[in-house]
């Protein structure tokens, strides 16, 4: 059976995941339907698709670059959607927030999100469902709680789309579970395809040590963190390693922690999340915020790149005091306050010079180059690889390594708008 793959988004770019995969002459499955943001922070949508032209949509995880455009399919129709239960619950929060911030620029409203959440099929890992003529299952991708790769049988041709992937163990999630599977065509993310992360254990040690040094000396550590997964991972890390002061949680991190708490089977060390949820101080309102920023301790607050949210408020309060710390733990995109601060030590918009201890820690939830090579070697019967969700330069370097070290002959790096066919 000839398999067709149409790239609507994430071709030679990080994010905006959107792919159509199916047998020739059959309706395809839409794999993810995400957005990106341009320099003015406006959402950029993937290529258009009519709900009636697809068999179903599979959402790999709740990050907006994978789910952000999905509600547009639910405005006047109700296509079939599959995702894990935790993906659907967390997506609901993120999509509401997305609409709150970008409402006028979006072709959907909360009602479409509610329809998606109400009608979406919740599928556990490794349960196979028949969709059209395809057998489809979701495999744990190890990226964030509930994240999955889509494993699809197209008349005997096995296609694996990884979504975002990770192969290390953290307190929050275990490594992906792709090893040993038979895959003819692998569609894999390549965000960090040309570099390797330091071992997570070293990053954790360095982080804990730095936090203790600041708190012991009477300072406050601000940890701006992504609301989905990064914030909770740090809550759990600090739950296992006392930092010598109270830990404050502010922003959407808390609501998502509560959802994760309800889905214990998707959380590797649920005991640590449980004690963090019970022991930590939830910041509610401005009085609490002022109090938290004056006391020695740790504040974990969204947003991760200091682009608004409570983290920016705290930053303005604590950054000009050298007793404090600002510890960045997320990727800092060009043009964000977080990136500016790291590069210049200043936040020009508010004329703040950072005197606090400023550090960046690599807590990435994306697989790195060695991890990708190892993953590829662990699959059975692999015929070809399609690289998506990465910068072209990075993808070309990775493709070379895959040929050299994993012996893969056929590697594709499609652009958006391109359609590939495989026999």
Return the residues of window 261-290 that contact Zn ion according to CB under 5 A: none
Minimum CB separation of residue 391 from Zn ion in Å reads 13
User: To the nearest whole angstrom, how small is the minimum distance from the Cβ of residue 188 to Zn ion?
Assistant: 12
Strand boundaries in 332-418, DSSP class E: 346-347, 352-353, 357-360, 384-388, 410-412
C-alpha torsion sign, points 358, 359, 363, 369: positive
Shorter beta-carbon distance to Zn ion: residue 65 or 368: 65
Containing 186, the helix (H) or strand (E) segment is strand 185-189
Binding letters toward Zn ion, positions 156-195, x by CB under 5 A? --------x-------------------------------
CA distance 109 to 65: 18
| Cα-Cα-Cα-Cα dihedral sign, residues 253, 254, 259, 265 | positive
Question: Shortest approach of Zn ion to residue 164 CB, angstroms?
Answer: 4
Helix 110-119 vs helix 85-102: angle between axes, to the nearest 10 degrees?
180
Considering only the stretches 65-73, 102-110, 346-354, 376-384, report the one whose residues sit in contact with Zn ion under the rule CB under 5 A: 65-73
Q: In the beta sheet, which residues pair with residue 327?
A: 359
Of 72 and 190, CB closest to Zn ion? 190
73 vs 165, which CB is nearer to Zn ion? 165
Considering the rule CB under 5 A, would residue 230 count as an interface residue with Zn ion? Answer: no
> According to CB under 5 A, which one of 32, 55, 65, 194 is a site residue for Zn ion?
65
3-state secondary structure of 135: strand
106 to 125, contacts with Zn ion by CB under 5 A? none
Find the shortest distance in angstroms from Cβ 159 to Zn ion.
19
**How open is the CA angle 102-104-109, to the nearest 5 degrees?**
80
Q: Is 63 in the site for Zn ion (CB under 5 A)?
A: yes
204 binds Zn ion (CB under 5 A): no
Cβ closest to Zn ion, residue 36 vs residue 72: 36
Q: Closer to Zn ion at the Cβ: 65 or 153?
A: 65
| 13 vs 250 by CB, closer to Zn ion | 13
Closer CB to Zn ion, residue 145 or residue 337?
Answer: 145
Residue-wise DSSP of 212-263:
HHHHHTT-EEEEE--TTTHHHHHHHHHHHS--SS-EEEESHHHHHHHHHHH-
Smallest gap, in angstroms, from Cβ of residue 217 to Zn ion?
A: 36
Binding part of the chain for Zn ion, among 40-48, 58-66, 67-75, 214-222 by CB under 5 A, reads 58-66
Span from 60-68, 153-161, 197-205, 294-302 in contact with Zn ion (CB under 5 A): 60-68
Q: Which is nearer to Zn ion, 317 or 366 (CB)?
A: 366
Place of tokens 């692998």: 186
CA 410 to chain centre: 28
Tell me the closest approach of the beta carbon of residue 1 to Zn ion, in angstroms.
29
State the DSSP string of 32-88: ----EE-TT--EE------GGG-SEEE---SSHHHHTTGGGGGSS----EEE-HHHH
Burial of 76 (0-12, 13-18, 19+ CB in 10 A): exposed
Interface segment toward Zn ion; rule CB under 5 A; list 56-64, 123-131, 232-240, 394-402: 56-64
Contacts to Zn ion by CB under 5 A: 63, 65, 164
């Amino acid at each position: 059976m000839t398999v067709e793959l149409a790239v609507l988004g994430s071709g030679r770019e990080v994010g905006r995941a959107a792919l159509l995969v199916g047998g020739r002459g059959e309706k395809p499955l839409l794999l993810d339907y995400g957005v990106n943001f341009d320099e003015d922070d406006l959402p950029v949508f993937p290529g258009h698709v009519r709900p009636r032209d697809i068999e179903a949509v599979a959402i790999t995880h709740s990050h907006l670059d994978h789910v952000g455009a999905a509600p547009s399919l639910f405005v006047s129709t109700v296509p079939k959607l599959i995702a894990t239960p935790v993906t659907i619950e967390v997506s609901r929060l993120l999509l509401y927030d997305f609409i709150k911030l970008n409402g006028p620029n979006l072709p959907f409203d909360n009602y479409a999100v509610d329809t998606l959440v109400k009608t979406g099929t919740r599928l556990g890992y490794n349960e196979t469902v028949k969709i059209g003529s395809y057998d489809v299952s979701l495999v744990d991708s190890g990226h964030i709680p509930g994240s999955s790769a889509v494993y699809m049988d197209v008349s005997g041709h096995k296609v694996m789309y990884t979504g975002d992937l990770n192969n290390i163990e953290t307190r929050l999630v275990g490594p992906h579970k792709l090893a040993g599977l038979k895959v003819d065509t692998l569609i894999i993310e390549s965000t960090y395809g040309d570099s390797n992360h330091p071992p997570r254990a070293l990053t954790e040690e360095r982080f804990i040590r730095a936090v203790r040094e600041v708190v012991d000396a009477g300072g406050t550590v601000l940890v701006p963190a992504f609301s989905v997964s990064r914030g909770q991972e740090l809550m759990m890390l600090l739950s296992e390693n006392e930092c010598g002061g109270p830990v404050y949680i502010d922003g959407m991190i808390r609501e998502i922690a509560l959802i994760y708490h309800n889905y214990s089977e998707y959380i590797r060390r649920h005991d640590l999340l449980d004690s963090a949820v019970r022991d930590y101080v939830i910041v509610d309102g401005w009085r609490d915020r002022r109090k938290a920023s004056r006391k020695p301790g740790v504040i974990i607050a969204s947003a991760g790149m200091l682009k608004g949210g409570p983290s920016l408020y705290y930053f303005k309060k604590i950054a000009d005091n050298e007793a404090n710390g600002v510890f960045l733990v997320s990727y800092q995109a060009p043009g964000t306050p977080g990136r500016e601060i790291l590069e210049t030590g200043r936040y020009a918009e508010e004329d703040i010079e950072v005197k606090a201890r400023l550090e960046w820690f690599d807590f990435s939830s994306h697989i790195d180059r060695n991890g990708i090579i190892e993953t590829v070697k662990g699959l059975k019967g692999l015929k070809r690889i399609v690289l998506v969700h990465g910068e072209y330069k990075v993808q070309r370097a990775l493709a070379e390594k895959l040929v050299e070290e994993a012996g893969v002959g056929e590697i594709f790096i499609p652009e958006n708008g391109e359609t590939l066919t495989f026999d």
